[in-house]
């Protein structure tokens, strides 16, 4: 679905943004969201009536809460645009949706509207390589990456479906692990803003190695 977007001109230059602390989205990875606030329920309704493109961006302040109220909380400069590709409305009136990442953007300015949610003018040009599936994945040291990943999972008593991980495209593997990694907002933003896939993989490995060197243990869950 996201391969139809081949260049910045294929995406809207103004788009709704969903500020979420500790949450990032990356190209060709899937982000599930549970939407229940009235302002964001309206946002989803408006998106469904339009091009179905939404931006995910972190608030600048780490004390602003997961989704800061109002429109005054400063936003980080870099986010990622995704297409709404799955939608389910529950009996409780909440919406469960999935976004498929397309390309990162820089926020140029916020556009004042009468909507209860925020809309920004964005620039995709600094991340034009995001539009090419798998760009740069041949530069990743996959052997070392998988070795560090296995050590990290073993250290934290985590299980993984190694057959599925070994079959995954390199881009999908690294971007998905970056999105679900258990790190804080600053580390997540560093993963988002990594200039290329090789750098993102190296940041992930460095974070994992620092984590393994700390005295704290893991919780023992499953990674699939």
Domain boundary (101, 131, 161) is at 131
Per-residue pLDDT of the chain in tens (224 residues, 90 and over written 9): 677 899 999 999 999 999 999 999 999 999 999 999 999 999 999 999 999 999 999 999 766 556 766 788 899 999 999 999 999 999 888 999 999 999 999 999 999 988 999 999 999 999 999 999 999 999 999 999 999 999 999 999 999 999 999 999 999 999 999 999 999 999 999 999 999 999 999 999 999 999 999 876 543 333 33
pLDDT at res. 220: 35
In a shared domain, residues 73 and 176: no
The Cα–Cα gap between 73 and 101 comes to: 24
State whether residue 92 is helix, strand or coil: coil
In a shared domain, residues 219 and 143: yes
Tokens 């103004």, residue?
Answer: 14
Domain boundary (131, 147, 169) is at 131
pLDDT at res. 62: 67
Structural domain including 80 reads 2-131
pLDDT at res. 128: 97
Rounded to an integer, what is the distance from CA 51 to the centroid of its chain?
19
In a shared domain, residues 39 and 145: no
In a shared domain, residues 197 and 123: no
DSSP state of 154: H
Rounded to an integer, what is the distance from CA 185 to the centroid of its chain?
12
For residue 24 the two structure tokens come to 């990032």
DSSP per-residue letters across 27-54: TT-EEEEEE-SHHHHHHHHHHHTTT-EE
β-strands 118-123, 30-35 pairing: unpaired
Q: Count how many domains the chain has.
A: 2
In a shared domain, residues 66 and 123: yes
In a shared domain, residues 6 and 99: yes
The Cα–Cα gap between 85 and 97 comes to: 8
In a shared domain, residues 36 and 121: yes
Determine contact, residues 207/183, Cβ cutoff 8 Å. Answer: yes
């Amino acid at each position: 679905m996201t391969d139809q977007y081949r260049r910045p001109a294929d995406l809207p230059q103004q788009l709704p943004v969903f500020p979420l602390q500790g949450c990032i989205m990356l190209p060709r990875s899937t982000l599930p969201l549970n939407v229940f606030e009235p302002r964001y329920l309206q946002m989803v309704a408006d998106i469904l009536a339009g091009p179905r493109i939404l931006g995910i961006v972190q608030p600048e302040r780490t004390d602003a809460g997961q989704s800061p109220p109002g429109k005054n909380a400063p936003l980080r400069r870099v986010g990622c645009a995704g297409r709404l590709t799955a939608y389910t409305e529950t009996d409780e009136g909440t919406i469960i949706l999935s976004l498929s990442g397309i390309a990162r953007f820089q926020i140029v300015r916020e556009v004042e509207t009468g909507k209860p949610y925020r809309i920004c003018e964005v620039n995709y040009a600094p991340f034009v390589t995001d539009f090419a599936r798998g760009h740069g994945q041949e530069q990743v040291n996959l052997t070392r990456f998988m070795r560090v990943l296995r050590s990290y999972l073993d250290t934290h008593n985590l299980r993984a479906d190694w057959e599925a991980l070994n079959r995954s495209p390199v881009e999908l593997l690294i971007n998905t692990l970056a999105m679900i990694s258990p790190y804080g907002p600053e580390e997540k933003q560093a993963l988002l803003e990594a200039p290329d896939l090789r750098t993102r993989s190296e940041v992930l490995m460095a974070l994992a190695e620092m984590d393994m060197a700390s005295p704290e243990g893991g919780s023992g869950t499953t990674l699939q």
